[in-house]
Amino acid sequence: MVGIVIIAHSQQLAAGIREMAAQMVQGRVSLAVAAGSENLQNTLGTDAIQVYEAIASVFHDDGVVILMDLGSAITSAEMALEYLSPEHQQKVHLCAAPLVEGAIAAVIAAAARKNVMEVIAAAQGALAAKITRLGLTTGSQNLKEIRLLVTNQLGLHARPASKFVTTAAKFQAQIKVKNSTKNTDFVRADSINQVVTLGVMSGDEILVTAQGMEADAALQALETLVVTNFGEVGAVNLTDVVPKITPSIGNSHLPPPHFQGIAAASGVAIAPSLSLKPTRLSTHPFLPVSQYHVEYPEVEWQRLHTALGIAYREIQALLSHASMQIGDTEAAIFDAHILFLEDPTLLEAIHQQIFDHHCNAEAAWCAVVEELSHNYRTLDDPYLQTRVADISDVGQRVLRLLMDAPETTIEVLQPSILIATELSPSDTAKLDPTRVLGICITGGSPSSHSAILARSLGIPAVVGVSEEILHLANGTILAIDGEIGHIWVEPDAEMGRIFQHKRETWLQNQDIHPIMEAAGTRDTPKEPLCDRHPIRVFANIGSLEDTQMAIANGAEGIGLLRTEFLYFHRSQLPNEGEQLLMYQQIADILTHRPLIIRTLDIGGDKTIPYLNLPKEINPFLGFRGIRIGLHQPQILKTQLRAILRASARHNIKIMFPMIATVGEIRAAKMILQEAQTELRQESISFASEIEIGIMVEVPAAVAIADQLAREVDFFSIGTNDLTQYIMAADRNNPRTANLADGLNPAILRMIHQTIQAAHQAGIWVGLCGELAADPLALPILMGLGIDELSVNPPAITPLKQAITQLNLSDIQAIATQALQQDSAMSVRSLVAALKFFT
Ligand code: PEP
Ligand code: MG
């Protein structure tokens, strides 16, 4: 029989659960508790040894299920598992079920001699009854509602719908929306698919209702979004709509085309054809997938979640790539793909397939996605019908991951015109316009996201071409005019000349660099250094205004958000909600760009009166940064909860300041883990794999950089503090300013040591002290291999300019020489004399 262990912070709580459980099954189950602490001052707590003993007392080959309350209970359970032998460990399962409901369900299942997986499933499903019950009885007395007129050009199509869903999901409220004009049913506002399939067009009225703690704030935010036309400026972006079909100038004397398709992206091209093999069966929207009965639905559910997690990261990478290549507006197409993965109604339907029908994850996924595709296909709006290509794109991605199939990439080795039956938005976004000169698709639609992406990439495209084109041999020369949808096969020499000329004129008008197709080479200017060394230029910020300035100046992300500003000029600590709002507002401005949030770094010269910290004789060497966070963990935990909540939909990383020992970063990570556990228990979403970094600004951290690098995902060197601590020269004292020069070889050597340790451990290193903005430091830092520089917003443009002008073949040699100088002055003279900048 399966054994049950209950871990709780309070002995009374555990005793109560034990009593209820015993009554349910009349003692016919082996149940042990590990609860409370032996500390007489504070009897609340958990202890790994107690947990271990409890497991040992009920251990059985059928397995043991552990249920726990929150926070350190989970840590104690995990530690206790480590004391077990590997064979025993395999039989002991930590269960995420709610403690009281889960324990009762688990003992009933165990007493009924269910196997260990069934006991876990019973415990995990134990909340369902309560949820259903409360759902029925919550009533509508607190229901708030608002009617909004949608006036943006294309209505709630994918990108505005993504913004709507993302905004709705930020609030602790149940939000529903209906298209009142079309008198549809209400749908959940956090489901991208339900919102899109409302078919809201420009001029339609929507009715939004909200219930819950943040209902008012949610409705207000949604109202702002709708009345500001979802941020669409004036008319909708031209690439959103089908290109105007005007006869191409100078085509009148050309022979009739061999193929007449639908114009999808304007421009002309002439090049050999390259046919893409379909990566899936044309009659079936998915790879062939078989359905079978599974014994352990939890395993299938876990497999699905793993695949969704990987898909999420893949799409994030695609989004970053697309936004660099074609800009944020078009790249936002992939925001909708991410929301699709998170769509709660979709996940509920799959959950049902897996748990109720014991269906394997692949078949469950396909069934639900196919049904959704059908819903899109049957919509009235032809524009929304084309979104089925996006559903199928995400569908294929997750299915590939579930089936562990390799990712197919489109390899185009020389300038070509692609021929295919279809091209997914993901594939289109990755096309290289210097190799793919044109696209001919037999399926498709000019309003599909693939066509929008082709237009943004400047690749002429024709869709809806006759299938006969698929029979052409690879290498057949094609001439295409994407403005009128014409395709010519094997044009003669005269026509070839006309097309080359037309293409060059078109490229010039497009401001795209001409490509010398005949030679197969690109006429590129001298390669700027930044192309060879992918150094990232980020910004240091301390307010919303800074964020706007950073973006306006071209920051690729935020390398340091000094969060102290949130704590100053007030009489008490900012609460979690206030912090969350600010982090979200900043992250919203950044869209996909990374945001590194540094946890509170007060002390030193920055004080907060309401914390009543004792005055210190030597505050820079005293109680500051992470030392305060570890001493008053509640302050740090509240901040980490806010950061984690903001990370649910934004690219956020956490950075801890003033780390000097391995123990400190481990302790900080424990508090982070506690915050994560709490959020999980409260069903509040956050990015589960958030990156963690530290400021390297204490010399001790440099000395043990190899050990610290094993604990984190990145370093950011804080040369302002590092310099003052290395040189024992107060950063604010003008009399020691000559000593506190970041170009002193002592500092450069410490930077070098930090970068080496980080790179050996496989993590990246940024630098966010003032040194990053010093032009004389730039060649040295780059030569030492720094990966990212983060500077104040006004310094971004000059820094980027300096990077592109840097004319240097041997920055590494310069860095080596700089390390050998005997003063900051001689380092400065060395770099100045070498005239790095053209
Ligand atoms: C630093 O110490 O270099 C740094 C960037 O942090 P702050 O200036 O906020 O101490
Ligand atoms: Mg600092």
SS (HEC) of 519-575: CCEECCCCCCHHHHCCCEEEEEECCHHHHHHHHHCCCCCEEEEEHHHHCCCCCCCCC
Q: So what's the pLDDT on residue 562?
A: 96
Which pLDDT score, from 0 to 100, does residue 113 have?
A: 84
Q: How many A from CA of 675 to the centre of ligand 1?
A: 26
User: What kind and span of H or E run contains 3?
Assistant: strand 3-8
744 φ, ψ (degrees, to nearest 5): -60, 135
Hey, what are 346's tokens?
């979709």
DSSP 171-219: SSSEEEEEETTTT---EETT-HHHHHTT---TT-EEEEEEESTTHHHHH
For the residues 277-302, what does the mean pLDDT come to? 71
Q: What pTM was estimated for this model as a whole?
A: 0.50
* Spatial contact of 395 and 286, defined as CB atoms under 8 Å apart: yes
Query: Looking at 9, 337, 449, 486, which residue is catalytic?
Result: 449
pLDDT of 70 reads 84
Q: Say whether pLDDT at 245 is over 70.
A: no
Q: Give phi and psi for 741, each to the nearest 5.
A: -105, 120
How far apart are alpha carbons 717 and 712 in whole angstroms? Answer: 14
* 507 vs 510: CA distance, rounded Å: 5
Query: Rounded to an integer, what distance in angstroms lies between the CA atom of residue 747 and that of residue 741?
Result: 8
449 noted as active-site residue? yes
Q: Please compute Rg for the chain using Cα positions.
A: 30
Instruction: Determine which residue's CA is closest to atom 9 belonging to ligand 1.
Output: 562
* DSSP class per residue in 670-731: HHHHHHHHHHHHTT----TT-EEEEEE-SHHHHHTHHHHHTT-SEEEE-HHHHHHHHHT--T
- Residue 540 CA: nearest ligand 1 atom is 5
Question: pLDDT tens digits for 507-538?
Answer: 877 644 333 333 233 233 333 333 334 689 99
Residue 287 has what pLDDT? 53
pLDDT score at 837: 54
The chain-wide mean pLDDT, for the chain, equals: 86
pLDDT of residue 754: 97
Lowest-pLDDT range of 128-137, 177-186, 464-473, 578-587: 128-137
User: What pLDDT, on a 0 to 100 scale, did the predictor assign at position 56?
Assistant: 87
For ligand 1, mutation pick of 721, 751, 771, 774 (most atoms within 8 Å of CB) = 721
pLDDT at 761: 94
| Cα–ligand 2 centroid distance for 720 (angstroms) | 6
Of residues 635 and 837, the one with the higher pLDDT is: 635
Instruction: Indicate which atom in ligand 1 lies nearest the CA of residue 720.
Output: 3
How far is it, in rounded angstroms, from Cα 538 to Cα 550? Answer: 8
CA 675 / ligand 2 centre spacing (Å)? 25
Q: Whose CA is nearest to atom 3 of ligand 1?
A: 718
Q: Which ligand is nearest to the CA of 540?
A: 1
How many CA within 13 A on the CB side of residue 581? 11
More confident residue, 249 or 18: 18
- pLDDT (0 to 100) of residue 516: 30
Instruction: Name the burial class of residue 70, with classes exposed (0-12), middle (13-18) and buried (19+) by CB atoms within 10 angstroms of its CB.
Output: middle
pLDDT attached to residue 601: 96
Q: Name the burial class of residue 380, with classes exposed (0-12), middle (13-18) and buried (19+) by CB atoms within 10 angstroms of its CB.
A: exposed
What span, in angstroms and rounded, lies between the C-alpha atoms of 238 and 218?
A: 31
Neighbours of ion ligand 2 (CB under 5 A): 697, 718, 721
What separation in Å is there between the alpha carbon of 92 and the centre of ligand 2? Answer: 45
Task: Supply the pLDDT for residue 530.
Answer: 34
Question: pLDDT grade, residue 126 (50/70/90)?
Answer: confident
Most confident segment among 159-163, 501-505, 739-743 = 739-743
Query: What's the 178 CA to ligand 2 centre distance in angstroms?
Result: 50
Question: Is residue 207's pLDDT more than 90?
Answer: yes
Q: How confident is the model at residue 279 (pLDDT cuts 50, 70, 90)?
A: low
Distance from first CA to last CA of the chain, Å, rounded? 78
**What integer is the mean pLDDT of 13-20?**
91
Nearest-angstrom CA–CA distance, 2 and 4 = 7
Residue 768 CA, closest ligand 1 atom number:
5
Q: Which of 511, 514, 532 is nearest to 804 (CA)?
A: 532
558 forms beta bridges with 539, 595
Q: In this prediction, what percent of the chain has a pLDDT beyond 90? A: 50
Q: pLDDT-based confidence at 812, cuts 50/70/90?
A: confident
**The pLDDT of residue 237 is above 60:** no
Mutation probe of ligand 1 site: the residue of 563, 605, 695 with most atoms within 8 A of C-beta: 695
- Ligand 1 atom nearest 719 alpha carbon: 3
Whether 705 contacts 758, CB under 8 Å: yes
In the prediction, which pLDDT does 520 show? 31
Please choose from 562, 702, 722 the residue to mutate so as to test ligand 1's pocket, defined by most ligand atoms within 8 A of CB.
Answer: 562
Locate the ligand 1 atom nearest the alpha carbon of residue 697 and give its number.
Answer: 2
- On the question of pLDDT at 213 being above 60, the answer is yes
More confident residue, 657 or 377: 657
Q: Which residues line ligand 1 (CB under 6 A)?
A: 560, 562, 601, 697, 718-721, 768-769
Q: Out of 99-113, 127-141, 391-405, 783-797, pick the least confident.
A: 127-141
The residue contributing the CA closest to ligand 1 atom 8 is: 720
Residue 605 CA: which ligand is closest? Answer: 1
Please name the residue ranges forming H helices in 591-698: 626-631, 633-647, 662-681
Residue 206 CA to residue 160 CA, distance in Å, equals: 14
pLDDT of residue 243: 46
